[in-house]
Structures are given as C-alpha cells and as structure tokens.
A and B are shown apart, each in its own frame.
Chain A
C-alpha cells in the first residue's frame, strides 16, 4: 500500500489507462510501489515523486493488443526462427556499464515507459502457414537479475513471450535479443533509450537528442523492411561460399561458451590502426585471422580462413528502420598467410571491394530476391523448417571461420554516467568464434565468444594486441 493518500491517488492515476488482466495490472502497480519506496528512501517528497515519474509515463499502451497488429519478418530475419532449435537460437546482447549499481525498481519502470515507443519489440514470434511473423502482445515486461551466461537460450514457445529480455547485474544493464527482431543498431537504440529513461528517473536527465522521444508516437519508418529498397540489378551475388577452415577442429570443446571482453583505450586502438595505415576493423580482422590460424593448426584440410564482417546498410541506404538492415562482407585468406602488412593490405582490399555500393546493392537485391522467391514463398512452413535449417547450416555457418561485428562508436551522450558498452554475439550451434567491437568515449570493448577448451584463439589475439602496443585487460565469464 502506498504510504500516503497522495501517492495512492497518483498510483490510481498512473494505472487509470491500464486495461490488462488483473494479475498484470497488480504487478504493474507493485512496480510503481517499489519505485515510490526507493524515492522515499532517497528523501523525495510526494510532489517531487509525481514530477519525476510524470503522469503519462505509461501512455495508453497497456491495453489489449489490436488483433490486426502484426508484423512480417524482414528479409534477413526470415531464416532466424527457422534455424532455431530447442537449445540454440541466434541471440545477441548489448550492455551498458553504469557508474553505480543498478536500481531494479527504477529500471523496471523505465522499461514500462520505454516499451510503448517500440511496439515492434512488444511482439511474440508466431507460426504462419508460410512464414513466421511477429504478433503484437501487451503485457508487463519484467526486468530480471542475470542468472545465466550471456546469450543463453531463452524459450520463445510460450504465449506472449517477448523476443527480448532486459537483465541487470551489479552495475550492468543488458538487453538480450533474438536477432529476428532487430540488428545491433536497433538494439543499441532501444538500450540507449532505456538507459536515458533510467537515468532520468534517477534524477539525472540526459540530453540525448539523437534518440527517439518516448512520448511521441512510434514512426512507421522505424518498422519498415528496408530490404525492400533494393533496386533491380542486372545480376545479383550468390550467397554460396566455399567451406571455411573451422577453428575448432583438433580442439576439445567446452560445455559452456567462453565470453571474453578485451577492454582497451579507444585512442590506443585508433593510433595502432593509423600507424599501420588501416581501419580499426581491418586491424582487428588481422588479429582474428591470427587467432583462427592458431586454433586450426591441426586441421588438415586446405580450406581458406573466412571471416564475416557485417555491414550496416543504413550508411548506404538511409533508413530509420529499427529492424534488421545489415549485409556482410566475407574476407577469405588461405591458411598459412603470414600476418603483417601483406595480410592487412589484402584484408583492406577485399573489404573495400565488397563494401562498395555496387556490390552491396547486388547483395541487397539477391537477399530480397531470395526472400521473395515465389517457390520459397509458397513452401509450407513445416517443409521450410526442414529444408532451410539444413541450407542455413551450410550457407550460414560452415562457410565461416569467425565473425567480426563492429558496432562502431556509440555517441558519448551519457557522459560519466555510463562507463562503457559491450556487445556479445551468441554462438549458434555450428559456428565457432564470434567477435564484436563497440566503443564508447575512451573505452573500446572487443569481445570474443568461443567454446574451445584450451584458448588458442584468445592467446593469439592477446599476442597480436600486445605486439600492436595496445594496452588491454580481460574481463568475462569466470571459470
């Protein structure tokens, strides 16, 4: 029960627009009561609490979903629900490390406030006759304390299960999300908006004007399938690559994934790349190739090492979409290529060639064509499930030795309140090594996810970073 009649009236006002089942409404009310209790501890008066939270914080979002509100999967997302098994799914996580310990009560209300601006996130995966789709759901989305390793499988089978979860642990707020819903860019927008609201509720309003205003209506462009922007090309690009050297061969696998964050100063990383006349992405790709080489020493096959680098298509086709809109470049080098200038030049050359507008337009056209192929479209979902799962295993995973996803620089809009961000790509059942990079202010975090029992990849990356003169320390899933 609220401790004063003012609070009681305010709670009533807050929940006046809520039309969810009783249990959910009660839980929403309890979330606000916990927030009131937190504010009381902080010594805030009733009027201040009312002003801090704001009257229309929930808007008119918490009402039964419109039965006609549903979303098709975008062209890139279609394969993710099909490739999902009962133990593995394509999930990734973005996290923000704050200066202070996370207050769960505040984070919970911040999520309630933010979700209304992102209706695409308020959906559950459903099975259609030909494709999966996202069906709108309205419920209380809980924040949870972390209890499982990063990017663990979370079931989407039950009714009204959202495709994301907001987790907290000590000073970290994490958003784990099913890749079918959005890509790294979209997830980062959601997380940053959540952090902005969280800090506002804590009494530290931020001037982050690049983020969506949670009180305005969601925009149609944010939900568009940007792959449809593909213009007809004379020829597309094939997605078939040769089989790649698999780093795990000859090494025992761990039961659980290893997630290591190499935390380093952004300036040192930039300086190291500049000194070698390449970009940060090329520099780290070289480290990855060295790692793949080291962890595939015992492999006897003559397959090339192939590293996938996702490319954010928003740079080439301006779009406000929060859904998937990335393609990729695949850098291929023969096993035994010596690290150094030669390797870096070759990586630069291939990357430049594959990220030219013409090649990306061709790939975009092919990706869209594949998703809209009439034969694929009319194939029933059950059959697709069987066929595309196999195809994805070959096209999507076995052709890659590793992946490097560079989210780039996150705008330093939270100043000192956020220390840094990290980004973890979950391993799918067949892929071996996933690497990511994200920078915020003076700190860059290079993350490696793998499952090799001994850590030849990590050792090689450490050696490589040390040789480049980049100071770093390692954090991650402790053993």
Chain B
C-alpha cells in the first residue's frame, strides 16, 4: 500500500496516479494493480460506426447537392439505397443475431428502394409488378433454404421466413381478388410462399410449435 504524497490518502500500489488528486506516484508497481491493463476490444463496432457515419455523410451530401440542382428524387434514391446498405451490411441485433433476419430485412429495404425509384421516375409499374416480387422471391428461397439447412442450430429463426411467406401469400390473394394486378412474378412468389409455409409446417412442425410457444409466451 502507498500513501499519496500530495493528499495523504492510502492507495493501492498499482496506481500510476493518485485516483483522488491525480498526483503521480513514483512508487507505482504496475504488477500490483488490482485490475489488468485492459486490452483493446471490439474493432467490429468501430468499423460499424465508421460505416454508419459514411452512409449518413453520403445521404446528407447527396441531399444537399440534389436539392440545389433540382433533382430531389435522387436524394430519395440515395436515402433508400443507404437504408438497404445499412440493413444488409451494418444492422446488428443485441440479442439472437440472425442471418435470416438480415437477409429478409435487406430484401424489404431493396424492395423499398425499387418502389421509390419507380414512384419518382414515373416509369410505370415495373417495380411493383416485376422487380419487387422477383427480389422477394430470391430472398424467400434463400432464407427458407438457410432455415432448412440450419434449423437445429437456429430453430427460432423461422419467424422472418414466415413473415415473408404471409406477406407474399396476402399479396397473391389481393391479386386473385382483383385488388392488385397479378403477373407471373407475383404468381411465382405467392405460390412459392405457400409451398415453403406448408413444407415447413409438415417437416418442422414440432420444432416450430415449440419455438412458437416461446416466441408468443404461451
């Protein structure tokens, strides 16, 4: 134990400076420190922060430039693109990190981007009728395949897949009822969704029921 020469308080030998008055301790013995010298941790979060900063900077500068030159829609495209990039590459859950959730959220973000482009360029209905169903089809097959291959490891990750299935089937039903224009990509998407949903229920019904009880607290 050392005594600080400046404030006369008794302190542990590991302190380089007095923790109370800040005076340097010539008799400091780092090996006697109560705690280890902390190693640097978590560079991933550092790069994530840099990535988010760059995205925000990009969105802000494009908004300024585009508004100045009279091309406001482009600022919206950049914003939606940045959102898609965030969802795919930078989003991070605090609990139960799931690659399936990331893929599905990324798919939704890309769908938003396509919808925005279609809306602001007044270029018909190519995104709603062709591109978005195609993107969601890709996302659905990829996420369903991932779940099927790793359901033992990640039994609880079926929710995003089911969410996408319900959305796609609902969209398909709207087409059948004549509320929405139905074309082959939507037919493919909604029938695949129905297939995935039914297959999942047949193959994994016990596991899904157990997980559903946990997720819904029943």
Contact = CB atoms under 8 A, between A and B. Distances in A.
Interface of A: 67-68, 70, 72, 81, 84-87, 89, 124-133, 135, 145-150, 152, 156-159, 169, 172, 256, 258-261, 454-455, 458-459, 462, 472-479
Nearest to A156: B95
Contacts of B97: 157-159
Contact of A478 (B10, B12, B21, B155): B12
Given A474-B9, A476-B35, A478-B34, A125 B95 contact: yes
Q: Which 3 A-B pairs have the closest CB atoms?
A: A473-B10, A157-B97, A475-B12
Given A152-B41, A159-B154, A474-B12, A454 B22 contact: yes
Interface in B4-26: 7, 9-12, 14-17, 19-22
Interface string B20-50: 1110000010100111111101000100100
A157 B45 CA distance: 13
B94 A128 contact: no
Contacts, number: 131
B12 A473 contact: yes
A217 B41 CA distance: 39
Interface in B148-186: 153-156, 159
A67 B16 contact: no
A72 B211 CA distance: 13
Nearest to B34: A475
5 contacts: A68-B213, A81-B95, A127-B93, A473-B11, A474-B10
B16 A478 contact: yes
B69 interface: no
Interface in B75-106: 92-97
B34 A472 contact: no
A368 to B, nearest CB: 16
Contact of B35 (A87, A150, A156): A150
Given A84-B94, A146-B36, A462-B20, A130 B153 contact: no
Nearest to A261: B34
Residue among B15, B48, B92 facing the most chain A CB atoms (10 A cut-off)? B15
B68 interface: no
A132 B95 contact: yes
A475 B35 CA distance: 9
Contact of B95 (A127, A261, A475, A479): A127
Given A147-B38, A455-B20, A85 B214 contact: no
Contacts of B41: 147-148, 152
B216 interface: yes
B174 to A, nearest CB: 23
Nearest to B95: A125
B210 interface: yes
B60 interface: no
Contact of B45 (A87, A126, A455): A87
Given A86-B45, A462-B9, A473-B10, A157 B96 contact: yes
A147 B40 CA distance: 9
Contacts of B211: 67
Given A125-B96, A150-B35, A169-B36, A130 B216 contact: yes
A258 B12 CA distance: 14
Contacts of B54: none
A152 to B, nearest CB: 7
B207 interface: yes
Contact of B96 (A159, A473, A477, A478): A159
B217 interface: yes
Contacts of B93: 127, 157
Residue among B9, B28, B93 facing the most chain A CB atoms (10 A cut-off)? B9
Contacts of B39: 147-148
Contacts of A458: 19-20
A133 B215 CA distance: 8
Contacts of B154: 159
B91 to A, nearest CB: 11
B1 interface: yes
A458 B21 CA distance: 9
